Amino acid sequence: MPGNRHTETVPARQSLASLRVGFWMLTDPYNFHTTFERGAVILSLDTEQIWGYVDLMNEAQFEDRYPETLRAHEKLLTCLLAAGVRATWFVVGGIALRASAGAKDCRMEGLPTSWTVRIPGGDETTAPLWYRRSFVERLREAHPQQEIGLHGGLTHFIWTDRQATRKVVNSELAEGVRALKDANVMPRSFSFGRDQEAFHELLPAHGIHCFRGRTPVLSYRLGRTLPGAALRVLDELRRVTPPPVWPYESLPGLWNIPSSLFLYPIGRTRTRVAPLRTRVERFRLGLEAAIRYRGIFHFCLHPDNLTESPDGFAMFEEILDQLVRVRNRGDVEILTIAEVAERMERRRTEPVQRVLSEPVAL
């Protein structure tokens, strides 16, 4: 009977998830022995608007795929503030500019012309998909306080691009930091454009102390390949438990806080294959794993993604309800990426590093 099958398969699925997480903890270089008092949750949001798609689509195509994305950013922030939840917003530096001359702007002189040629001049009134200083200011003044980090640099240039020399990347990074500083934001955390990590050694010199590392599962390590895409679909369909993660000092004073799970796209084509419900269920499984192992569940999304489906915000509000419930029970604490890095730095002064107080259940 269907009921009996359910009774038999759920414990088996949970046991398999424990084995996966336990094996990953024992074989991965991340320092899982440094635990937290309880589970921790990070929400990190790549805030890029059309900058993240400058080499992929024009404005009309972007607005067709992500309708009313500007309103979505405001709505997402409102949801978080109403729930009393802090998040890390990784903002492309160009969004913070009051105005720009586009490809002719002196701040973009260090970048390849083939990349900047698509960037229009304008300001928040004439080119709101590109420039949106007022939203950055709203983030900066929000309560509870939101963290603002840097995403990609000034223009979301991809650091593994064939034209990505050290000089080019340093210019992209320096101008991105400067754009946020001009908006009275001092970024301490960073996320790479499309998760394409490179030139880590440049980050500390620009005041960056932590970054979001790649999701430590095979489907993401395979990247934007056909096998990677196929595995990500299977992860959704099988409701694979996202791994809890732990900070790792990749360079002196530079902490890698990996992602656990990115919101799988919710457009019509994807939801025909993987129903929207799987996103909510995998978030719940990620919370449970973080609580069980006293690690971090690091959940990531692009605000634009929530506009792909008319049910996008209803789904996110259900996710947020789950988070608030476990927070209010005292099972997890919600941290920003910079807070995690600060906590790890403070632990340097502890005479004895804390270890797991109970064995990992395999």
Q: Per-residue pLDDT for the chain (362 aa), expressed as one digit of tens each? A: 334 433 334 444 444 544 454 444 444 444 444 567 899 999 999 999 999 999 999 999 999 999 999 999 999 999 999 999 999 999 999 999 999 999 999 999 999 999 999 999 999 999 999 999 999 999 999 999 999 999 999 999 999 999 999 999 999 999 999 999 999 999 999 999 999 999 999 999 999 999 999 999 988 888 888 888 899 999 999 999 999 999 999 999 999 999 999 999 999 999 999 999 999 999 999 999 999 999 999 999 999 999 999 999 999 999 999 999 999 999 999 999 999 999 998 887 665 444 333 333 32
Total-model pTM? 0.88
Pairing of strands 254-256, 99-100: unpaired
Instruction: Report the b/e string of 160-171 with b at 16+ CB within 10 A.
Output: ebeebeeebbbb
Place of tokens 């294959």: 273
Long-range contacts of 75-81 (CB under 8 A, 24+ apart): 75/313, 76/45, 76/303, 76/306, 76/313, 76/316, 77/138, 77/139, 77/142, 77/146, 79/313, 79/316, 79/317, 79/320, 80/43, 80/146, 80/320, 81/142, 81/143, 81/144
Tokens of 64: 């067709």
- Per-residue b/e over 67-94, b at no fewer than 16 CB within 10 Å? eebbebbebbbebbeebebbbbbbbbbb
- Cβ(259)–Cβ(211) under 8 Å? no
CA-based Rg of the chain, rounded to a whole angstrom? 20
- What one-character-per-residue DSSP string does 90-119 give? EE-GGGG-SEE-GGG-GGGTTS-HHHHTTP
State the DSSP H helix or E strand holding residue 191, giving kind and residue range, or none if neither: strand 189-191
334 DSSP β-pair partners: 41
CA angle 247, 248, 254 (to 5 degrees): 105
What is the end-to-end Cα distance of the chain in Å, rounded?
A: 30
Phi, psi (rounded to 5 degrees) for 181? -65, -35
Q: How far apart are CA 155 and CA 95, in angstroms?
A: 9
CA-closest candidate to residue 116, choices 70, 67, 64, 175: 175
pLDDT at 17: 47
The pLDDT assigned to 30 comes to 45
